[in-house]
Chains A and B, each alone.
Chain A
Amino acid sequence: MSELHTVNKSPFEKSSFDSCMGHVLEGSAVLLYEDGVYAAMQGTTAEAKVKSAQGVKIYVLGPDLKARGIDAARLIDGVDVVDYAGFVDLTIEHDKVVAWV
């Protein structure tokens, strides 16, 4: 069993990202979209939490990244960019989706 956790709020404004990272288990994945994508950038105060997630794959939604002017080169190592189709694939690959809205 593995879950896909999704976060769409800024880690600096809401506790959604913190809560998500506190509940995600090894083997699961986290998809950051909308304002959630800000958590995937290097050099922020949220970076340590992204890096500390052992065995958790982190994805970001490319179009939302692009809208906010964040270049993929600025992402934390190991974070993968997916498009809308990739988002759909992730929901299919995992047993369920847990949304931290």
Chain B
Amino acid sequence: MSEMIKNFLYLNRRAPYGTIYAWESLEVVLIGAAFDQKVSLAFVDDGVYQIVKGQDTSESGFKNFSPTYSALGDYDVNQLYVERESLEERGLTLDDLMPLTWEDEDEDWAEKDSIRVVSRAELAGMIKDQDVVFSF
């Protein structure tokens, strides 16, 4: 029991630019990744909008932080769960999302998908299995 590795789930429920939550969550995830814990991210409700591809803030004056999600793999954060029902309610599919991947150093940097689309029921089960859930 000397190894205290816990499961952390970050629950992202907000759209990217209307509030500061999405960016705050991403920063906390990146900072928290310095600790050796098992981290996964769930994108639920308007949170699915955070990882929609083709975001371009050049005309609106916001900082476009969507490219930063692509760095998550470098930080060993490669369990990204997207809720199917949340996508469907918003007229979105997996094709509308950025292709987020990670590189497996043990397999000669083979590129692997980080995103997994899960049902609401599956996600409910995952939430139950976590040690800690952070909500943003």
Which A residues are closer than 8 A to B by beta carbons? 8-10, 12-13, 34-35, 38, 41-45, 47, 62-64, 66-71, 74, 83
Q: Does B52 contact A (CB under 8 A)?
A: yes
Contacts of B15 in A (CB 8 A): 10, 13, 35, 38, 68
A-B contact pairs, 28 of them (CB 8 A): A8-B18, A10-B15, A10-B18, A10-B46, A12-B45, A12-B89, A12-B90, A13-B45, A34-B17, A38-B15, A38-B46, A38-B49, A38-B90, A42-B91, A44-B91, A45-B90, A66-B56, A66-B60, A67-B17, A67-B57, A67-B59, A68-B15, A68-B17, A68-B52, A68-B55, A69-B53, A74-B91, A83-B59
Which B residues are closer than 8 A to A by beta carbons? 14-18, 45-46, 49, 52-60, 62, 64, 66, 89-91, 96
Report yes or no: B90 in contact with A67, Cβ–Cβ below 8 A. no
Give B118 Cβ to nearest chain A Cβ, in Å.
Answer: 19
A42 vs B93: C-alpha distance when bound (angstroms): 12
Report yes or no: A67 in contact with B64, Cβ–Cβ below 8 A. yes
Report yes or no: A67 in contact with B60, Cβ–Cβ below 8 A. yes
Report yes or no: A41 in contact with B52, Cβ–Cβ below 8 A. no
Known: A35-B15, A44-B89, A67-B56. 12 other contacts (CB 8 A): A9-B18, A13-B45, A34-B18, A38-B90, A43-B90, A43-B91, A64-B17, A66-B58, A66-B59, A66-B60, A67-B57, A67-B60
Q: Nearest B residue to A61 by beta-carbon distance?
A: B60
A34 vs B18: C-alpha distance when bound (angstroms): 6
Report yes or no: A41 in contact with B91, Cβ–Cβ below 8 A. yes
Chain B CB within 10 Å, residue with most, of A8, A47, A70, A74: A70
